[in-house]
Amino acid sequence: PQESFTSLMFISITVCEGALGLTILVMLTRSKGSDMMASTLLMK
């Protein structure tokens, strides 16, 4: 039981971090505008 709880906590934290990162990325993209989007597309 302890191991499953630990792994569940780890997954939850990872998901939260991912959501946070995505939110920050979206906010940055909206504030900087289309020029940042163009540079991001060029990097890919």
Say whether pLDDT at 33 is over 80: no
Host H or E run for residue 33: none
In this prediction, residue 28 carries a pLDDT of 84
Cα Rg, the chain, nearest whole Å: 16
Q: What is the pTM of this model?
A: 0.51
pLDDT at 29: 81
Q: What pLDDT does 30 receive? A: 81
Tell me if 29 sits within 8 A of 36, measured CB to CB: yes
d(CA 32, CA 20): 18
What are the tokens at 14?
Answer: 């990872």
pLDDT confidence of residue 2: 83
pLDDT band for position 42 (cuts 50, 70, 90): confident
